Structure 1
Amino acid sequence: MSLLLDGKAVAASYEKELSRRVTALKARNGGQTPILATILVGDDPASATYVAMKGNACRRVGMDSSAIRLPASATTADVLAEIDRLNADPTVHGILLQHPVPAHVDERLCFDRISIAKDVDGVTSHGFGLMALGEPAFGSATPAGIMRLLAHYELDVAGKRAVVVGRSPILGKPMAFMLSNANATVTLCHSKTVNLEAEIRRAQIVVGAVGKPKFIRSEWISDGAIVIDAGYHPGGIGDIDLDGLIERCAAVTPVPGGVGPMTISTLIAQTADAAERAYPVA
C-alpha cells in the first residue's frame, strides 16, 4: 500500500502557522491586513470558482482578497492598466491574474507586467529566471506546492530519475527546474514525446502536468514510483490513470485533494511572505 499524499490535510495544517504569522504581522504594521488581489477576465465558471476558493483561503488565515472582475471584452490594455494600478497600491501585497485569459488578451505580456515583489503566483519571466538559477523568487504556485508536499512527507528527490509530462510555463517547465534544483535527474516530456511510455517506465518520480484526462496510463508507471498528478478535469479525473497504483507505488497524490489544495496554500503563503517583506521586523 502506497503513501497517500494528502494535500488537503497538509494545507490545513499550514493554515494554522499562517494564521499566527498574519496575526504577528498585523501587530507590527498597525493592523493592516495583507491583501491578495485577483484579476478575473471573462466569465469562465471554473476560473470564478478557483478565484473564490483563493479568497476563502485568504480569509481563513486572517488575510483579505480583493477580487477584480473584467468583462470578456476587456483588452490587453485594460488588463495592463489594472495591473499597473495594483502594482502602485501599497495595501496590495500579491497579484494574481487568473489563467487562462481570453485568447485576444496577451497573457504573457500581462503576466510580465506584475511587479516581481507582488508576483506571488510565480508567473513572471523574471521570477522564472531567478527560480531556474536557484536564486530567491516566488515559485510558480502549483510546482512550488508539489515541492512543499514532497518535503512535508520527507520524500527526498535527490538522485532520483524524474519525468515531468507537460511543458507549460507555469507548471511543467518550472516543475522540471525545481526538481533539478533539488538534485533530481529530470526528463521533461510532453504529448509529442516519442515513446513516452518508455520514458515514464524509467522514472522513479512521475509528474502528470499535461492537461489531458488519464493521458498517462497506470501500466506505464513502475512499481515503487512516486506519482504526482497535477491535472484536474470534470468528474474528479486527473492526468494520470490512478487505477491500481495505490497498491504498488511508493506514494500517490489523490485527485481531488492532492495537488490542488497545495497550490492555493502556496499562493497564500507567498502572499504572506510578500507582506512580511513589506513590513520587516525592526
Structure 2
Amino acid sequence: MTTNPIILDGARVADTIKEQLAQRVLRLAERQVVPCLATVLVGDDPASETYVRMKGSACKRLGMVSRRIHLDRETSTEQLLDVIRQLNEDPLVHGILLQHPVPPHIDERAAFDAISLEKDVDGVTTLGFAQTAFGFGAFPSCTPAAIMAILDAYQLPIEGKHAVVIGRSPILGKPVSLLLLNRNATVTICHSKTQELASIVRSADIVVAAVGRPRFVQGDWIKPGAVILDAGYNKGNIGDVDYDACLQRASAITPVPAGVGPVTIAMLLRHTVDAAENAASAQTIMA
C-alpha cells in the first residue's frame, strides 16, 4: 500500500486553466476579438447533445462565443463538408469541433480532415496528428493534452519514466503516447491483441487507461508508486480502472468523474483562445 496517494483533482486543474484564459479573453476583447468555437453535431445522439451543451456553456462562462450547428441525421458527407468549408472561411470562427460519432453513412475521416489546421482545436486532422508526432505546430487532441496538463500541474516527472498506454485510438491512445514520447518517457502501447497485459502494466511508472471498459485495470496490475491517469468514462460515472483497488498501490491517481474530463474541456477552450490569438496576430502582421 502506498502512503497518502495524491488524488489528481482535475476540477482544480481545470479551474486554474480557465482563470488564466479569462484574462486572455479580456485582452482579446480590447482588440475587438471574441474567441469563437463552432460545434457541429450531426443527428440526435443524447450523449453527444449533452457534450456539445457542456462545451457551449463553458465557452459562455469565459466570455467566448459558442456557435452551435445542429444538422439532421440524414445529412450527407458532402453537405457536412460544405458546412465545414463555410466555417473554415468565416474569420469570426476560430475553432471547429465536429462532435464524434457521426452517423455511419458519413465519411468521418473526410469530415475531420476538411477542418482547417489552424481551426482544428480538437486535434482530429491527419496533418494535426503528424505535427503532434513531430512536436510542433498543431493543437493536440484535447484528452491527451489534458493528461499532460495534469501531470505538469502536479509536477509529476515524465522524463525517463516508463509509461504504459492501454488503448490505441487515434484521438487518445496514439496521440498521448506521442506526447509522452516527446517528453522523453519510454512508452509502451497496449491494445486488444497485447499478450501478458497485466505483466506489462506492472512495469509502468505511468499508466494511462483509455480502453473504454469499466474497472478494466485491476489493483494487482499496478506497480507500487505508479501514477495512474484514468481517461475512461463509462456508464454510471465509472472509469477504466478499479479505482479503490488501484488507489491502494498508486502514488497518484485521477478520479472519475472530476479527473481527466474537466481538464479536457479546459484544453478545448485553451486551444480556441490560442487560435483566436494566432488569428489576431496574423491580421496585425497583414495590416
Residue identity over aligned pairs, in percent, reads 55
In structure 2, distance between residues paired with 1:70 and 1:38: 11
* Distance apart, 1:64 and its partner CA: 1.1
In structure 2, distance between residues paired with 1:128 and 1:222: 31
**Structure-1 residue corresponding to 2:24:** 21
Query: Aligned pair 1:195/2:181, yes or no?
Result: no
* Distance apart, 1:247 and its partner CA: 3.0
- Residues 8, 259 of structure 2: 8 Å contact kept: yes
- Residues 219, 249 of structure 2: 8 Å contact kept: no
In structure 2, distance between residues paired with 1:88 and 1:234: 38
* Distance apart, 1:255 and its partner CA: 0.2
* Distance apart, 1:55 and its partner CA: 0.6
**Structure-1 residue corresponding to 2:253:** 252
| SS of residue paired to 1:66 | strand
In structure 2, distance between residues paired with 1:212 and 1:70: 30
- Residues 204, 226 of structure 2: 8 Å contact kept: yes
**Structure-2 residue corresponding to 1:38:** 39
Q: Which runs of 4+ in 1 moved over 6 A?
A: none
| SS of residue paired to 1:240 | coil
In structure 1, distance between residues paired with 2:137 and 2:94: 17
* Distance apart, 1:248 and its partner CA: 2.5
Residues 1-282 of structure 1 correspond to what in structure 2 (within 5 A)? 1-28=4-31, 30=32, 32-280=33-281
Gaps in structure 2 of 5+ consecutive residues: none
User: In the comparison of the two structures, how many residue pairs are matched?
Assistant: 280
* Distance apart, 1:182 and its partner CA: 0.5
* Distance apart, 1:219 and its partner CA: 1.6
Post-superposition CA distance 1:167-209 (Å, at most 9, x none): 0000000010000001000001112211111110111110001
In structure 1, distance between residues paired with 2:79 and 2:215: 37
Could you tell me which amino acid in structure 1 is paired with residue 224 of structure 2?
D
Post-superposition CA distance 1:215-259 (Å, at most 9, x none): 222221111000010010111111111122223211100000000
| SS of residue paired to 1:279 | helix
Could you tell me which amino acid in structure 2 is paired with residue 218 of structure 1?
G
Q: What TM-score results when the alignment is normalised by the length of structure 2?
A: 0.95
Root-mean-square deviation over aligned CA pairs: 1.1
| SS of residue paired to 2:74 | coil
- Residues 219, 248 of structure 2: 8 Å contact kept: no
Could you tell me which amino acid in structure 2 is paired with residue 239 of structure 1?
D
In structure 1, distance between residues paired with 2:118 and 2:155: 30
